[in-house]
Structure 1
């Protein structure tokens, strides 16, 4: 591909055509594809709920719905941060370790200063998570080392810090203020407060990715990093910010985890990073970067949580939950490759027709 073609492709991915105008037809097609994929996830979720409700009508009770939303909230927040990273053609495997570190730090904060305002604890947790994201962002953006390798290393580093700090200690609900613990169980108009917070995070980050140039540029980077550099996009800076956002989301999730469960030790968050990546991919976020949305990732997180609850209601071996999730991931990746091939063929057809 010629340099000028790469330059034009990066500009289109960032939301503007070569002449500065929005490519309405191509953008419209892309939005239709994304909408169709997200709609497919919603249909799958609806069918799953319908089948489970037929077997056990209590599954659709108000309490059961609240439990599912409560269980999905933390995963949704993590999936939102992961989406910001994945669309830039990177991945953050350290989110589980960051969540655990921040959760333990939150418990220690309340133990050392019981009168700490809840909002201060939340901000401290977000700041600590963002600091972990800064480490990831600097190593990936400045050193240009693959994110998979970097974040796998920082996963063990942050987990090691957590274990070293905890030294086998466990923080219990009695060690934290009752007002903070109510944050994990309170409802707003019948909806769990954690779900409301997760929804607010989805809307804010979704608006950023869709409506701000720096957010759109992440898609351009994910589509073609070299072309994005040639078109003047500060790739390193944007990737750095993506990891900081992911770290901040993991920090927020860590604080909310402490509020919801109350009992914290050094093993908190172990293995959740795989669920986070699965939620994003199942929700239509291309693992190869360049496409997807936080809305789809959020629905994917709800779907994975619902699968776990449904299998328990249907009295199916929990092993099948992992098998189903694995199948969904393979199906999502296969669909992504199919769409990529079709788009490439369509682009070649237009190029040859123009020539």
Structure 2
């Protein structure tokens, strides 16, 4: 599952003497196992319970996956740089409560203004994480674990016992999670657009490829002139922007937001990215894979509920998937490194 990332910032192995056929290229896609597992899961569940693929059932799966898809896309960017952000659930909670506050404090405020304000709020919180990680030189796991509790504490102090409900927001804002286009809820379409934009940025721009180079070998990336500190800060800010967007859309999707909104969500997000093929040690993976991982985990929950499997087993299966993804990724990394050593010895 892991490819070797060189300081040029590419997420591909060294070119070989021959070109891969289209079928071979598809077979080597990191996202393919996740996609196949998703299709198999849907088919098996549908055979057991045909109502699983009823229009409302499909809509519910997409709606439940939307928020995690956006968060997983942002998390993938951070993990690719060999970091992690455990505070995304708390950022979402702060932005969600802030969104409800805006609608109450400024009646008639345009929805686009609220969305932009939420993204800006998320960017500020993401920048705090990024600055602490890059300037203090402390592992992101430690920093974001701390900011997880700090941001959650701020939300508790701000919200207290206050909650904002569906009646506190404009009807058209709530309709983002109700109206559909070709069967896709509007907020799901927003998530798809976000994933496509981020995927194009990561694979089609120098800055995006730099993030892969940093995750593969930060020291080598510096030698080759990659501005590591600036790029890592950018990754955290972008993740904050997407968490802010997710917080706004969360307010549209659910009936209430309060002090506990987003609690525990960060674990689902990291799990989605890892299961989707984003290497936990950085340097490889894609936001598309992370999005598929989010959809797979959400579908697993819906599928097991549809066949009446106990919730404990739902959590156990997700845990097994995470362990399997990490083990397979490490095995693939070792095999790739071994092939490179053999190839280099032959060249010598």
User: TM-score with structure 1 length normalisation?
Assistant: 0.92
Report whether the alignment pairs 1:220 with 2:216. Answer: no
Question: Partners of 2:10 and 2:276 in 1: how far apart?
Answer: 22
Report whether the alignment pairs 1:72 with 2:68. Answer: no
Q: 1:144 aligns with which of 131, 137, 140?
A: 137
> Which secondary structure state, in structure 1, belongs to the residue aligned with residue 136 of structure 2?
coil
| Structure 2 unaligned regions, length at least 5 | none
Question: Partners of 1:351 and 1:27 in 2: how far apart?
Answer: 17
Question: Partners of 1:305 and 1:225 in 2: how far apart?
Answer: 34
Q: Work out whether residues 37 and 284 of structure 1, in 8 Å CA contact, stay in contact via their aligned partners in 2.
A: yes
> Which secondary structure state, in structure 1, belongs to the residue aligned with residue 109 of structure 2?
coil
Report whether the alignment pairs 1:170 with 2:174. Answer: no
Q: What is the aligned partner in structure 1 of residue 16 from structure 2?
A: 25
Question: Partners of 1:183 and 1:37 in 2: how far apart?
Answer: 32
Q: What is the aligned partner in structure 1 of residue 199 from structure 2?
A: 206
Following superposition, the deviation at residue 16 of structure 1 comes to 9.9
Structure 1 moving runs of 4+ over 4 Å:
26-29, 31-35
Alpha-carbon RMSD: 2.0
Q: What is the aligned partner in structure 2 of residue 94 from structure 1?
A: 87
Q: What is the aligned partner in structure 2 of residue 134 from structure 1?
A: 127
Question: Partners of 1:26 and 1:98 in 2: how far apart?
Answer: 48
Q: What is the aligned partner in structure 1 of residue 29 from structure 2?
A: 36
Rate the CA distance shift 1:55–1:10 in 2: closer, same or farther, 3 A.
closer
Report whether the alignment pairs 1:11 with 2:2. Answer: no
Q: 1:294 aligns with which of 272, 287, 291?
A: 287
Question: Partners of 1:174 and 1:60 in 2: how far apart?
Answer: 31
Rate the CA distance shift 1:129–1:27 in 2: closer, same or farther, 3 A.
farther
Q: Work out whether residues 91 and 147 of structure 1, in 8 Å CA contact, stay in contact via their aligned partners in 2.
A: yes
User: TM-score with structure 2 length normalisation?
Assistant: 0.94
Rate the CA distance shift 1:138–1:26 in 2: closer, same or farther, 3 A.
farther
Post-superposition Cα deviations, 1:215-245, rounded to whole Å, max 9, x if no partner, equal 0010000001111111110000000000001
Following superposition, the deviation at residue 28 of structure 1 comes to 7.6
Rate the CA distance shift 1:79–1:222 in 2: closer, same or farther, 3 A.
same
| Structure 1 unaligned regions, length at least 5 | 1-7
